[in-house]
A and B are shown apart, each in its own frame.
Chain A
Amino acid sequence: MIEAVGLTKRYGAKTAVYNLSFQVRPGTVTGFLGPNGSGKSTTMRMILGLDQPTSGHVTIGGHPFRSLPNAPRQVGALLDAKAVHGGRSARNHLLSLAQLAGIPAARVDEVLGVVGLQDVARQRSKGFSLGMGQRLGIAAALLGDPQVLLFDEPVNGLDPEGILWVRNLMKMLASEGRTVFVSSHLMSEMALTAEHLIVIGRGQLLADMNVKDFISANSADFARVRVAEGVPERREKLTASLTEAGGQVMSEPDGALRITGLPLPRISDVAHEADVRLWELSPHQASLEEAYMRMTQGAVDYRSTADQKAGLQQPVGHGYGQPDHGAPQPQVLEAPQQNWYAPPPPGQNPYATAPAEPAAATADPTERDTSEDAR
Chain B
Amino acid sequence: MTTPPTPQAPSQRQAPAPQHSPQTAPAGPYTSPIPVRRATLGDAIASEWTKIRSVRSTMWTLGVMIVLLIGIGLLAALAVNTVDSDLGSTPVLSLGFFGVLLGSICVITLGVMTIASEYGTGMARTTLTACPSRARVLGAKAIVFFLLTFVITTVTTALVAALQTAMIDGAAPSGGEWLQATVGVGLYIATLGLLSLSVGALIRHSAGAITIMIGVVLLPLVLAMFMFTDSLAGLRLALFQYSIPSQLSAFYSTSVAESGPSGWDPLWIMLGTTAVAMICAFVTLDRRDV
Contact = CB atoms under 8 A, between A and B. Distances in A.
Interface string B25-60: 111111111101111100110111011001111000
Contact of A177 (B20, B54, B130, B131): B20
A88 B51 contact: yes
Main secondary structure of the interface of B (DSSP, over half): loop
A294 interface: no
B132 A71 contact: yes
A245 interface: no
Given A84-B121, A100-B44, A162 B34 contact: no
A28 B126 contact: no
A129 B1 CA distance: 10
B51 A96 contact: yes
Contacts of B4: 113-116, 165
Nearest to A91: B54
Contact of B125 (A26, A80, A117, A147): A80
For this complex, into which size category does the number of interface residues on chain A fall? Answer: 35 or more
A36 to B, nearest CB: 18
B30 A70 contact: no
Contacts of B36: 70, 73
Contacts of B50: 92, 95-96, 99
Contact of B132 (A27, A65, A82, A117): A65
B175 interface: no
A50 interface: yes
Interface residues of B, number: 59
B6 to A, nearest CB: 9
B130 A97 contact: yes
A120 interface: yes
Given A27-B26, A45-B290, A176 B38 contact: no
A49 interface: yes
Contacts of B3: 116, 161-162, 165
Interface stretch (B8-16, B78-86, B160-168, B204-212): B8-16
A72 B39 contact: yes
B10 A87 contact: no
A131 B1 CA distance: 9
B40 A147 contact: no
Interface string A52-67: 1000000000000111
Contacts of A146: 32
B7 A177 contact: no
A168 B26 contact: no
Given A65-B132, A100-B130, A119 B30 contact: no
A226 B64 CA distance: 79
A110 B36 CA distance: 17
B223 interface: no
A165 B2 CA distance: 11
A253 interface: no
Contacts of B51: 85, 88, 92, 96
B125 A145 contact: no
A220 interface: no
Nearest to B126: A83
B38 to A, nearest CB: 6
Interface string A90-132: 0010011101111110010011011111111000000001011
A86 interface: yes
B133 to A, nearest CB: 8
Which of the listed residues A68, A102, A114, A129 has the most CB atoms from chain B within 10 Å of its own CB?
Answer: A102
Nearest to B290: A50
A176 B46 CA distance: 32
A79 B290 CA distance: 12
A45 B24 contact: no
A4 interface: no
Contacts of A143: 130
A312 interface: no
A140 B130 CA distance: 9
Interface string B173-201: 00000000000000000000000000000
A168 B125 contact: no
B10 A114 contact: yes
B47 A97 contact: yes
Given A26-B30, A84-B126, A89-B54, A51 B10 contact: no
22 contacts: A49-B128, A50-B125, A50-B290, A52-B287, A85-B123, A87-B56, A88-B55, A89-B54, A92-B51, A99-B44, A99-B47, A100-B131, A101-B43, A114-B4, A116-B4, A131-B1, A142-B10, A145-B33, A147-B32, A173-B9, A175-B21, A175-B26
Interface of A: 1, 26-28, 45, 48-52, 65-73, 75, 77, 79-80, 82-89, 92, 95-97, 99-104, 107, 110-111, 113-120, 129, 131-132, 135, 140, 142-147, 161-162, 165, 168-169, 171-173, 175-179
Q: Can you list the 4 inter-chain pairs with the closest CB atoms, starting with the nearest?
A: A83-B122, A102-B39, A27-B25, A100-B47
